[in-house]
Structure 1
Amino acid sequence: MAQKPLQYGRDDVEIAARDVAFKGFFRIEKIRLRHRMFAGGWSGYFERELFERGEAVCVLLFDPQRDCVVLTEQFRIGALADEHSPWLLELVAGMVEPGESYAEVAQRETEEEAGCSFNELLPICNYWVSPGGTSERVQLYCALIDSEGVGGVHGLADENEDIRLAEMSTAEAYAAVESGRINNAATIIALQWLHIHHQQLLQKK
């Protein structure tokens, strides 16, 4: 018989050691730990490497007046083996710095990467990117914008950013999800959310 979910919490993990194994552009920690077992008792101590990434904010830019989305296009090292291209269609995104709220990051990155501001910010969800090996967690938003005149190439030169904006109709963007051309998690989740709430958001013209 299936049991009720989420039986354990933070107090059911014991960390014996936590060391920095690598620190460069990113940081990797080596953690020695044990945790409670579903059958009772504790596991033995074991080690795991953790890609310490922190929190990020991703923003889907949607114009309800023109019924279109504005996506970013940029090179991604992790997608070198992508069957289409290592240049991916993504959301505006950035990491949360100490003392920043999610909304502040959304505003900062929308200005830096898209050269525009939003009229309204709607929360979509908060999720772990790949909890088997990284601490990265994403706060996902939909930002309502006026896309008239939005375009061009953006990003910070000192961060080696080269970000081109791509405008697509909402229908074209969702078709790109279904065909697999848009194939990164945050953009897929955001566009599926937009697909579900599309008619409601169009009333915000």
Structure 2
Amino acid sequence: MPKPFQFSESDVTIEKRETVFQGFFRMDKLWLTHPRFDGREMPVFTRELFIRGDATCVLPYDAERDEVVLLEQFRLGVLGRNQSPWLLELVAGMNEEGETPEEVAQREGQEEAGLTFSQLDKICDYFVSPGGSTEMIHLYCGHISTRDAGGLFGVEHEHEDIRAHVLPASEAIAMIHDGTINNAAAIIALQWLELNRPRLLEGLSE
């Protein structure tokens, strides 16, 4: 059997591309073709592509207190799902041109939770929905003190309304197991914490 990744971006032929919507985000329509695994050429087909910039998400964690900070805010896309559209999420923000993910993390930590990260541990980069969106998430665990954390935050002219909650790490991890927390970035970050928490706690005694 051939190994994975026998094709590359150069194997994709874009016959035509046009912007069909331009607002806060952009939607393009593409006519394209590419080789098939069986050796034939795929007939030209169309796809709509959601053009959205990359974002950075951070799980704030205090290893000394073994606590995390999670943000509660309204999310339009959850309406009609038979659950509250206020979710518990990570510190997060869109990457602006010229910014590194680490700079975004520090900016959003201040704006959304009043936090400054003393250290950022890289968790991973991942595509949110590669079948139809360009967005990639840069995911981190940010080391903080929860001593004075929590409260109300957000940039008002961006219509942000955020409550920062301080929770025991064990309670937050339990919320991914029972489905209370059901957004991808928070699930991935808290699963990473569940795996790495013993190492992070052990580091306190070294």
Would the TM-score normalized by the shorter structure come out above 0.5? yes
CA–CA distance in structure 2, aligned partners of residues 81 and 68 of structure 1: 32
Q: How far is 1:204 from its partner? A: 4.0
Which runs of structure 2 are paired with 1:74-93 in the superposition (5 Å)? 74-93=73-92
- Aligned counterpart, 1:197: 196
SS at match of 2:27: strand
Structure 2 residue 38 is the aligned partner of structure 1 residue 36: no
CA–CA distance in structure 2, aligned partners of residues 6 and 77 of structure 1: 36
- Aligned counterpart, 1:169: 168
CA–CA distance in structure 2, aligned partners of residues 200 and 81 of structure 1: 40
SS at match of 2:109: helix
Q: How far is 1:27 from its partner? A: 1.2
Q: CA contact under 8 A between 1:72 and 1:166: conserved in structure 2?
A: yes
Percent identical: 51
- Aligned counterpart, 2:126: 127
- Aligned counterpart, 1:71: 70
- Aligned counterpart, 1:8: 7
* Amino acid in the other structure paired with 1:175: A
Q: CA contact under 8 A between 1:59 and 1:91: conserved in structure 2?
A: yes
* Amino acid in the other structure paired with 2:92: A
Q: CA contact under 8 A between 1:84 and 1:181: conserved in structure 2?
A: no
Q: CA contact under 8 A between 1:13 and 1:33: conserved in structure 2?
A: yes
- Aligned counterpart, 2:185: 186
CA–CA distance in structure 1, aligned partners of residues 185 and 163 of structure 2: 18
- Aligned counterpart, 2:107: 108
Runs of 4+ in 1 over 6 A off after TM superposition: none
- Aligned counterpart, 2:24: 25
Q: How far is 1:81 from its partner? A: 2.3
* Amino acid in the other structure paired with 2:163: R
CA–CA distance in structure 2, aligned partners of residues 4 and 152 of structure 1: 51
* Amino acid in the other structure paired with 1:61: P
- The C-alpha deviation readout for 1:115-156, integer Å capped at 9, x for no partner, is 110111000000000111111110100001011111111111
Q: How far is 1:32 from its partner? A: 1.0
Q: How far is 1:45 from its partner? A: 1.1
- Aligned counterpart, 2:57: 58
Q: How far is 1:46 from its partner? A: 1.0
Count of residue correspondences: 204
- Aligned counterpart, 1:148: 147
| Unmatched runs of 5 consecutive residues or more in structure 1 | none
* Amino acid in the other structure paired with 2:108: E
